[in-house]
Amino acid sequence: MLLDIAEAARLDRSETEAVLHGSRYTEQVRNDEAEAARLGVRGVPFFVLNRKYAISGAQPVDVFRRALETVWEEEQQALPLRPLADGGGACTDGNCSIDESVR
């Protein structure tokens, strides 16, 4: 059944079978399981946003929306550069001098 689903999703059937029967991703899976245990995950679904927020269990869409908006706002505040003035330091018309009044 899984091979049929993989093939329908345009994945290579033989590669999928090798992954399912092999140990290629065992270390990564064990690392994920260990991290989940450290985070206190006890069930699924469990979502971690930005390594800071957790959503456990099936939640309404609004819970995810608010969580994603919170992470987005925090990330925007963390941007390294914020322009203090428009123009002044831009090259226009082949002139790349800096307007001293902007400093």
Model confidence over 4-44: pLDDT tens digits?
Answer: 999 999 999 999 999 999 999 999 999 999 999 998 898 99
The reply to whether 12 and 31 lie within a common domain is yes
pTM across the whole model: 0.54
The structural domain count of the chain equals 2
Q: Is residue 25 part of a domain?
A: yes
The reply to whether 34 and 53 lie within a common domain is no
Rounded to whole angstroms, the Cα distance separating 103 from 98 reads 9
Rounded to whole angstroms, the Cα distance separating 95 from 81 reads 24
The reply to whether 49 and 31 lie within a common domain is no
Contact between 45 and 57 (Cβ < 8 Å): yes
Q: Is residue 28 part of a domain?
A: yes
Q: Residue 7: count other Cβ atoms within 10 Å of its Cβ.
A: 13
The reply to whether 31 and 2 lie within a common domain is yes
Alpha helices in 40-101 (DSSP H): 61-77
Structural domain of 54: 42-80
The reply to whether 15 and 48 lie within a common domain is no
